[in-house]
Amino acid sequence: MKNYKYILLFATLYLGAACTDLVDDVNDDLTELSADVIPPEKFLTGAQLANVLAQVGHANRISGLYTGQLTGFAAQYKNIYDYTLTSEETESTWNRIYQGVVPQTRLIISKLEGENALLHGICQVMEAHVIGTAATLFGDIPYEEIFIEGLEDPKFDEQATVLANVQLLLDEAIDNLNVAATGVISEDIYYNGDKQKWLETAWSLKARYYMQTKEYSSAYSAAQNGISTASNNMNFIPIGDSSITGSKNTYFTLLNGSRAGDIGTQGSYFSGLLDPSGTTSRNHAKTDETARFEYMTVDQTDGVSNRGVASEFEPQRMVTYEETMLALAEAGARTVDFNTGLGHLNTYRQFLNTGAFLNVHFNARPYTYSDYIEADFQAGGLENADNIAQDRALLREIIEERYVSGFMTYMPFDDARRLRSASESDIAVSIPFNTSTATVHPERLVYPDNEINTNANIPSPLPDLYTVTDINQ
């Protein structure tokens, strides 16, 4: 009788032994959502914020340090300013581009399944914007093979090819936007789904990249469809309660946190150019930069000391009327004639003279931007004291205006590299070196650490900070 007891117990033991049945289907995540169930537009805001960080974040500040616009006073920014740029410094920007923007916009497009041409076009413009930025900053970059399931090491495409593909993508975006119905997309924190503004932005981006590849006549025609008024600028607009971090001007956030004291405009070439009392000042009878100088000062002390471009709620410019007008001016002067260039420059100066670009703290400060006349650029004229050719003198003034107006965008860094060749040295802004020992200026950002470590297709030998990218050869 006793034995039955054991047999029963043995049986119990074996019934359950190592069953996969007991453990099946418990590995599905308990809190995170699958992308399948999320509406496409819900991925847009995050992608746009990542694009903000790619356009007006760390890499943008580095470009400012390398073009005489900003001074690095302490910590990382001091080292970068002294031309020590390690591969870890570019990591976050690269990540925002390749993870923050592109997979998200492509996911949106894939979820649209051919519907919603407006959102489709917006996503294409965003991809073109961020990939164009990546190509101009880093040179050859992965593009054709990115975000492909099962592909582990995307190959690096040539910079010029990427930029050509960006132009094609913008053409597709424009086609989509043209056919799109007008609508409102509340997740679009740039334009709220305004089709017209996105179209103008697409054309302005085309002009931007044609300028960088020195296709000036294409740039000129693209810019004519570009952003037509400053109120159509693609800006990052900070929002929210004061002192809640995470939704504010990125320069403000930086300086109001642990980076106080590290970076600002004090002592920079840019500052000296605007400062009416500076020795290298560009102020003269027709130009008073007092208000713009004060507005465009970044006080390194801390965030709250800033009331201008780096103040808490100040919008940050990403694709602008200013840039578009100055592309018209430069490309017009180069490919049409002197008067065309001058006309666009004066149109732009008339805009400046409205003071509309200043915020409330500075629009009552002095400013003057009178029209230039041809004589100003003739030998001995206001803008040609050193008697260079009239056309070159005009271009030099347009380039300097791009350098000033482009503060806090990549335009000064892009122009500096575009115009560094001997044939353009007469019109380029003469950016000083940051250290006494430097002999050449940075020509790109170095590839990030993680991509170097993990991508077998990383260019070898690795280009350094001073290796000129293809389009600027």
Partner 1 sequence: MNKSLHKLILVFLLTLGHQGLHAQQTITGSVKDQNGPLIGATVQVVGTTLGTVCDIDGRFTLDGVTSESTLSINFIGYVTQTVNVGNRSVIDVILEEDAAQLEEVVVSALGFKQKRDNLGSTYSKVKSDDIVRSGEATLINGLSGKAAGVKISRSNGDPGAGSSIQIRGQNTIGGSTQPLIIVDGVPLGNNNILGSGNGITGGRTGGTSQQSRLNDINPNDIESMQILKGASAASLWGSRAANGVIVITTKKGKSGKPTISYNVTYSMDEINRRHPIQNTYGQGENGTWIANAANSWGDKIADRTGGGDEVDFFGERFVSADGTTHYPITNKNSTATYADRNFDQVFQRGHFVQHDLSVSGGNEKSTFFFSFGKLNQDGIIRNSDYDKHNLRLNNDTRFNDWLGMSTKASYVNIQSNRIQQNSNLSGMYLGLLRTAPDFDNSDYIGTYYSASGESFPRRQRSYRSYLGARENPTYSNPQWTTDEQIASSDVNRFSITPQLDIDPTSWLNFTFRGGVDFFSDKREYFFPKNSASSRNVGIFAEDVIRRRQVNFDAIARTSFDINQNINLESTIGFNYNERTGESQSLEIRDFQVNTNFPTYDLTTDQAASSLGKSAFIRRSNRGYGLISLALYDQVNVNLSGALEAASTIADNFFYPSADVAWRFTQLPVFDNIGVLSFGKLRASWGKVGVQPSAHKSQTLTDAGFSASSFSDALDVSLFGGGYRLDDDKGNPNLKPEIKTEYEVGTDLRFFDNRLGINFTYYYNKIEDILLDIPVPSSTGFFNQYSNAATMENKGMEVDLNYDIIRNSDWTVGITANFNNNENTVLDLRGAESIDLSSQSISSRAVAGHSLGALWATQASRNDDGTLELDANNFPFAGTELGVIGDPNPDWRGGIGFNAKWKNLSLNVLFEHSQGGQFADRTRIVLYRFGTHQDVSNEVTLEQDLRNVNGILFPAGSVVRGAVHDFGGGPVLLDEAWYTSRGGGFGSGVIYDLLISEDASWTKLREVSLSYTLNNNWLQETLKLSSVQFTATGRNLLMWTDIVGVDPESSQFGVSNGFGVEYFTNPSTRSILFSLKITY
159 or 250: whose CB is closer to partner 1?
Answer: 250
Q: How far is the CB of 270 from partner 1 (least distance, A)?
A: 20
Calpha distance 281→276 (Å, rounded): 6
Neighbours of 337 (CB within 10 A): 12
Q: Report how far residue 290's alpha carbon sits from residue 472's, in angstroms, rounded to the nearest whole number.
A: 34
Least distance to partner 1, CB of residue 145, Å: 8
Judged by beta carbon, residue 181 or residue 244, the one nearer partner 1 is: 244
Report residue 367: phi and psi, to 5°: -155, 145
Residue among 247 and 363 whose Cβ is closer to partner 1: 247
Nearer to partner 1, 178 or 301 (CB): 301
Min separation Cβ 393 and partner 1, Å: 37
Taking the least distance from each CB to partner 1, the nearer of 256 and 268 is 256
- Paired tokens of 260: 């106080």
CA atoms of 406 and 403, how far apart (whole Å): 5
For the chain, the farthest-separated pair of C-alpha atoms sits apart, in whole angstroms, at 122
Q: Quick one: 79 or 340, whose CB is closer to partner 1?
A: 79
CB of 272 to partner 1, least distance (A): 21
- The CA distance from 136 to 445, in Å, is 9
- Measured from the CB atom, is 54 or 291 closer to partner 1? 54
Phi and psi, residue 333, nearest 5°: -65, -35
Rounded to the nearest 10°, the torsion over CA 413, 414, 418, 421 is 10
**Nearer residue to partner 1 within complex by CB, 23 or 285:** 23
Q: Hey, how many other C-beta atoms are within 10 angstroms of the C-beta on 78?
A: 16
Distance in Å, CB of 192 to partner 1, minimum: 11
The alpha carbon torsion through 390, 393, 397, 400 (nearest 10 deg) reads 160
Tell me the CA distances in angstroms from 120 to 192, 236, 307, 393, 471, one per residue in order. 14, 21, 37, 43, 29
28: amino acid identity, one letter: D
Residue 356 or 466 having the CB closest to partner 1 = 466
- Least Å distance between CB 129 and partner 1? 16
Minimum CB separation from partner 1 for residue 157, in Å? 11
Least distance (Å) between residue 264 CB and partner 1 = 14
> 136 vs 287, which CB is nearer to partner 1?
136
Shortest separation between residue 30's beta carbon and partner 1, angstroms: 4
How far is the C-alpha of 112 from the C-alpha of 97, rounded, in Å?
22
Element (H, E) at 156: strand 156-157
CB atoms within 10 A of CB 244: 9
Burial 264-283 (b: 16+ CB within 10 A, else e): bbeebbbbbbbbeeeeeebb
Q: Pick the closer one to partner 1 by CB: 38 or 356.
A: 38
Query: SS3 of 72, please?
Result: strand
**Nearest distance, CB of residue 234 and partner 1, angstroms:** 16
* CA distances from residue 460 to 85, 215, 389, 456, 463 in whole angstroms, order as listed: 18, 29, 43, 10, 8
Closer CB to partner 1, 95 or 368, in the complex: 95
SS3 at position 128? helix
**H or E element in which residue 444 lies:** none
CB of 304 to partner 1, least distance (A): 8
**Among 289, 287, 292, CA closest to 383:** 287
Closest CB 48 distance from partner 1, rounded Å: 8
